[in-house]
Amino acid sequence: MGATHAVAMAELGHEVIGIEANPDRLRDLQNGVIPFFEPGLDEALQKVIAAGNITFKPDHDLESLEADIHFLCVGTPQLPGSYAANTGYLRDAVKALAPFLREDAVVAGKSTVPVGTAQELTALLAAEAGFAPHLAWNPEFLREGTALEDSLRPDRIVIGVNDARSEELLRQVYKSITDLGTPFLVIDIPTAELVKVAANSFLATKISFINAMAEVAEVAGADAVQLAEAIGYDERIGNKFLRNGIGFGGGCLPKDIRAFMARAEELGVGKAVEFLADIDAVNLRRRDRVVEIAQRELGSLQGKKVVVLGAAFKPNSDDLRDSPSIAIADLLKKAGASVVVHDPISLANVNKQHPHLTTEQSVELAAKDADALVLATEWQEYRNLDPAAIGSLVKHKLLIEGRNALPVEKWQAAGWRVIALGRNLEAVAQ
Ligand code: UDX
Atom 24 of ligand 1: nearest residue by CA position = 248
Ligand 1 and 143: CB distance under 6 A: yes
- Closest ligand 1 atom to Cα of 323: 23
CATH architecture of 2-187: 3-Layer(aba) Sandwich (3.40)
CATH number for the domain formed by residue range(s) 202-429? 3.40.50.720
- Closest ligand 1 atom to Cα of 256: 9
Phi/psi for 49 (5° steps) reads -65, -45
Ligand 1 and 242: CB distance under 6 A: yes
Ligand 1 and 304: CB distance under 6 A: no
d(CA 342, CA 362): 7
Query: For residue 19, what are the β-bridge partners?
Result: 57
Q: 167 and 28 in contact (C-beta within 8 Å)?
A: no
Ligand 1 and 402: CB distance under 6 A: no
**What amino acid occupies position 317?**
S
Query: For residue 420, what are the β-bridge partners?
Result: 401
Q: For residue 344, how far is its CA from the centre of ligand 1 (angstroms)? A: 19
Q: For residue 281, how far is its CA from the centre of ligand 1 (angstroms)? A: 17
- Closest ligand 1 atom to Cα of 377: 25
CATH 3.40.50.720 positions along the chain are 2-187, 202-429
Q: Tell me which of 37, 73, 143 to substitute to probe ligand 1's pocket, judged by most ligand atoms within 8 Å of the beta carbon.
A: 143
Q: For residue 341, how far is its CA from the centre of ligand 1 (angstroms)? A: 22
Decide if 73 is catalytic: no
Angstrom distances, CA of residue 263 to CA of 272, 299, 374: 11, 43, 36
- Closest ligand 1 atom to Cα of 242: 33
Catalytic residue selected from 1, 69, 207, 252 = 252
110 HSE (CA, 13 A, CB side):
19
**What amino acid occupies position 360?**
E
Q: Would you give per-residue pLDDT tens digits along the chain (430 residues)?
A: 899 999 999 999 999 999 999 999 999 999 999 999 999 999 999 999 999 999 999 999 999 999 999 999 999 999 999 999 999 999 999 999 999 999 999 999 999 999 999 999 999 999 999 999 999 999 999 999 999 999 999 999 999 999 999 999 999 999 999 999 999 999 999 999 999 999 999 999 999 999 999 999 999 999 999 999 999 999 999 999 999 999 999 999 999 999 999 999 999 999 999 999 999 999 999 999 999 999 999 999 999 999 999 999 999 999 999 999 999 999 999 999 999 999 999 999 999 999 999 999 999 999 999 999 999 999 999 999 999 999 999 999 999 999 999 999 999 999 999 999 999 876 444 3
Atom 3 of ligand 1: nearest residue by CA position = 143
Angstrom distances, CA of residue 13 to CA of 47, 129, 147, 180, 184: 11, 29, 18, 16, 19
d(CA 23, CA 57): 10
Atom 16 of ligand 1: nearest residue by CA position = 143
Atom 25 of ligand 1: nearest residue by CA position = 314
Residue partners of 351: CB distance under 8 A and separation at least 6 = 359
Atom 34 of ligand 1: nearest residue by CA position = 241
**What amino acid occupies position 47?**
K
Ligand 1 and 8: CB distance under 6 A: no
